[in-house]
Amino acid sequence: MAGGGGSRLWPLSRNNTPKQLLALVSARSLLQDTVDRLLELMPPENIVIVTGAHHATQARAQLPAIPARNILVEPAARGTAPAIGLALVYIAYLARAKDEPDPVVGSFHADHAITKVAEFQAVVRDAARVAEAGFIVTLGITPDQAHTGYGYIERGTALPNSGGRPAYQVAQFVEKPDRATAAAYLATGRYSWNSGMFLWKLSLILGEYARYQPELYGQLQAIGATVGTPQFETTLRQVWDGVRTETIDVGIAEKSRRMAVLPADFGWSDVGDWGAVAALLAGGAADADQNAVLGQHLGLGTHNSLIYSTIEGKLIATIGLENLVIVDTGDVLLVCDGNKNQDVKKIVEQLKAQGSSRYL
């Protein structure tokens, strides 16, 4: 899944270059990193990307190893349930052609970062075995703090051990909690963060779409019937007009009785704000003053700050700063209190309201 805009990493993320297309913390974009991680688990022709019309050209350019036809373009954003559904009917077509009609399929966000790649790959292999046994497996992230920005998953009964990391039936999904509730969850040791990554057998998930989202299922089948034919794009556009917005979490996962969670810890981040970028950069190498720096920085008495410049040769000099975010993209400079990262989207909203599209 490589759709979505994301205004919380503005001014680096823009309408034309959303988060997943950015090389935020390495030389590769988050999308490229996501695909690279999976390419060690499967051949490139098995990887399918769903993206928006504005970003398809860049996605194809960033992913020369992926067959261009595997980069599917949503006519409009309709949430994760339709986006994943589109990929599923396309994958069903690929699977029939390969005479492997019921493969295990995984769904991954293209705008997350993972620092422990080998561990992630081992977890995916374990999760695939659980999916093979007939579960919708969600990768649960073992929390290291009482974060209020994520949904949580409570584990239930342990599933029979298939030799890998233990997996559990899902007791419940819970929405983003307040801090006290999050702390209580953490104390039980039974909760994971909902990463939004899933694995399932193709037949099982399509059956769940049919059961819980019958209208959408019918629409997807109509699209799926034209994959590989000249009618595909026209059908997709026509059907998509009538598709209602729904998320995979609410539309399927919270309803299904086949849900499992596999708790894991592979250095996951949803890169949800500049603080997350700072943490990822600093995880690589914070300087002596605990600053996360990309670019050329000279600091006096500057601590716990993010200094992020994409401008070749630019020097950022700082004096007497604490917990500040500084992001310079050349046409925009953002300077933000590190406790106010979430307000970046308010700036984006103001720019939209002003019609200042050149900065969006």
Q: Angle, nearest 10°, between helix axes 232-240 and 214-224?
A: 160
- Determine, following the binding rule CB under 8 A, whether residue 16 of this chain makes contact with its own copies: no
Selected range binding its own copies among 87-95, 135-143, 202-210, 327-335, rule: CB under 8 A:
327-335
What is the size of the binding site for its own copies (CB under 8 A)?
35
Decide whether 231 or 339 has the Cβ nearer to its own copies. 339
Task: Give yes or no for a contact between 62 and 84, defined as CB atoms under 8 angstroms apart.
Answer: no
- Determine, following the binding rule CB under 8 A, whether residue 225 of this chain makes contact with its own copies: no
The SS3 assignment for 172 reads strand
CB of 14 to its own copies, least distance (A): 12
- Determine, following the binding rule CB under 8 A, whether residue 9 of this chain makes contact with its own copies: no
100: DSSP letter: -
- Determine, following the binding rule CB under 8 A, whether residue 344 of this chain makes contact with its own copies: yes
| Residue selected from 99, 145, 319, 355 as contacting its own copies according to rule CB under 8 A | 319
CB of 146 to its own copies, least distance (A): 23
- Evaluate the CA torsion angle 189, 194, 198, 200 in order and state its sign: positive
- Determine, following the binding rule CB under 8 A, whether residue 335 of this chain makes contact with its own copies: yes
- Determine, following the binding rule CB under 8 A, whether residue 7 of this chain makes contact with its own copies: no
| Residue selected from 11, 68, 232, 265 as contacting its own copies according to rule CB under 8 A | 11
Per DSSP (E only), the strands in 92-151 are: 104-107, 113-114, 136-141
Burial class (CB in 10 A: 0-12, 13-18, 19+), 332: middle
- Determine, following the binding rule CB under 8 A, whether residue 22 of this chain makes contact with its own copies: no
280-285 own/partner pairs: CB under 8 Å, 24+ apart:
280/24, 280/25, 280/113, 280/115, 281/25, 281/306, 281/308, 283/115, 284/25
Decide whether 192 or 341 has the Cβ nearer to its own copies. 341
- Determine, following the binding rule CB under 8 A, whether residue 290 of this chain makes contact with its own copies: no
Selected range binding its own copies among 101-109, 116-124, 131-139, 350-358, rule: CB under 8 A:
350-358
Decide whether 226 or 304 has the Cβ nearer to its own copies. 304
Task: Give yes or no for a contact between 120 and 37, defined as CB atoms under 8 angstroms apart.
Answer: yes
Decide whether 101 or 330 has the Cβ nearer to its own copies. 330
Task: Give yes or no for a contact between 113 and 268, defined as CB atoms under 8 angstroms apart.
Answer: yes
Instruction: Identify the residue whose tokens are 């026209």.
Output: 234
CB of 320 to its own copies, least distance (A): 3
- Determine, following the binding rule CB under 8 A, whether residue 324 of this chain makes contact with its own copies: yes
Task: Give yes or no for a contact between 51 and 3, defined as CB atoms under 8 angstroms apart.
Answer: yes
Q: What angle do CA 50, 77, 239 make, to 5 degrees?
A: 85
The binding site for its own copies (CB under 8 A) comprises 11, 298, 300-301, 309, 313-321, 324, 326, 328, 330-337, 339-340, 343-344, 346-347, 350-351, 356, 359
